[in-house]
Amino acid sequence: MRIVRWIADDLPEPCFGLWIDDMIADAGTAEDLGLPPGAGAEALFARGASALMDLEGRAVTRTRRPRSEVRLLAPIVRPSKILAVGLNYSGHAEEQGLAPPEEPMLFLKPPSSIIGPEEDIIIPPFVTHPDPEVELAFVIGRRAKGVRKESALRFVAGYTVLNDFSARKLQKRDGQYGRAKGIDTFTPVGPCVVTKDELRDPQNLSIQLSVDGEVRQQDHTANMIHPVAELVAFITAGITLEPGDVIATGTPAGVGVHRNPRVFIESGQLIRCEIEGIGALTNRAVRQENGEDR
């Protein structure tokens, strides 16, 4: 299944649905599915297999709309946490002159930074050197603690595209990632969550980022240093993962700060993050006017 949240001009509130070919099959609102108002797919996964069966059953019997007539929203709204992995592609380590890390490097991003497809990334006045990063993200389907690598993928609900947008000057100044990557709107997610029964091998996907049509990152998830199953096992050795939690698996080589010459995002530029088998996540960067640089 390709699970989406969507809205149209004639609807008062968002709906869930399934993306089938070029159509969006309506599955009703969160309330229709017995979920809290405004909830995202994280609430579906918390309810278990019965909630997914209900969503699929409703989508089969209700109306469908052309994809071009609806606006997709962030499929995940309020995860308990977003965990991201730094330096997880061999090329990204090489472009910095660093050895591949022996263990995954983890940091947290606040859920308040999430936006959906086609929403603007707002760059505050105090942010300089903004830089996007395309990443495969996986979504946890059930509570996971102390998981073995061999069974790790059983705890994954599905996969989505994530843009780990970053304020490089703040990142360097702070010496850690939380503020530079956690600013409001700095975590675009979407366009859907593809369930693991449809996307069976997360280590066999092409991954790409372009800015105004110019390709800046291009790689393959086979080149991850620490693959998805290993990440689940490593994280859950000490951190309990809850349904709906999002784990971003790192970015390939080609980020702006490590290019020669360096290149950063300018206001008005369109960023497209695309992963094979999932789709494209497109957002425009817009600089917020006024305010002091700091």
80 or 98: which leads in pLDDT: 80
E strands along 29-133, which residues? 64-66, 71-73, 82-86, 105-109, 114-115, 121-123, 130-131
Indicate if the alpha-carbon torsion angle 140, 143, 149, 152 is positive or negative.
negative
293: pLDDT confidence band, cut at 50, 70 and 90? Answer: very low
The stretch 96-116 carries a mean pLDDT of 95
Per the CB < 8 A criterion, the answer to whether 134 and 216 are in contact is no
93: pLDDT confidence band, cut at 50, 70 and 90? Answer: confident
> Mean pLDDT across the chain, nearest whole number?
95
* Whether the predicted pLDDT of 292 surpasses 70: no
**Which of 175-179, 234-238, 269-273 is the least confident region?**
175-179
Per the CB < 8 A criterion, the answer to whether 116 and 257 are in contact is no
* Whether the predicted pLDDT of 41 surpasses 70: yes
